Amino acid sequence: MRATSFFLSIVWMALMSFSANSLAADILTVADIEKVIGMGGVHATPKNPAKGAGGELNFENAESKLVTIVMIQDAAMFDFWKKQYGTLADPVPNLGSEAFLTKPKSAIAYVFFKKANKAIWIQSMGWNKKGGNNVSDAQLLELAKLAVSRL
């Protein structure tokens, strides 16, 4: 019985991971990131929280430095994000059921929103040569609009 329960839990985790990864691949692509932020050489990298790549989708530049991450969670996570990070962000109308974008000139730029049964967080990672975020607020919103349209 224990072996069966263990096996079923492993199968369930694999299915949930596959489901999230399958959905993730449909939400934003390398081509989307390159087009929106105007950067060539972008590639996807596997999830690796130890190096900051904690999203279901993680994108690096040609030098293998993180540019942006996308987290995809159940809608319930949105309430936690809103409570924890909503005070550091401004509401964004017309983007999913609810959405927040970091206040202008924030050190860390992100947008998070929910639609249907999913909560999505898109965050700029690292800084460009001018000292700004790799992904601007306007670009984060453009990526979020693409993601919303695909959910």
Q: Name the token pair of 78.
A: 């949105």
Total domains in the fold of the chain: 1
CATH number of domain containing 142? 3.40.1000
The residue segments making up the domain with residue 12 are 2-150
In the predicted structure, residue 4 carries a pLDDT above the cut 80: no
Mean pLDDT of 88-111: 88
User: Which amino acid belongs to residue 131?
Assistant: G
- DSSP 8-state assignment for residue 103: P
Q: Is the pTM of this model over 0.85?
A: no
Rounded distance between C-alpha atoms, residue 79 and residue 84, angstroms: 9
Rounded distance between C-alpha atoms, residue 64 and residue 5, angstroms: 40
Q: What is the tens place of the pLDDT at every residue in 12-62? A: 344 444 444 555 668 999 999 999 999 999 999 999 999 999 999 999 999
Instruction: Report the run of H or E that residue 123 belongs to, with start and end.
Output: strand 118-124
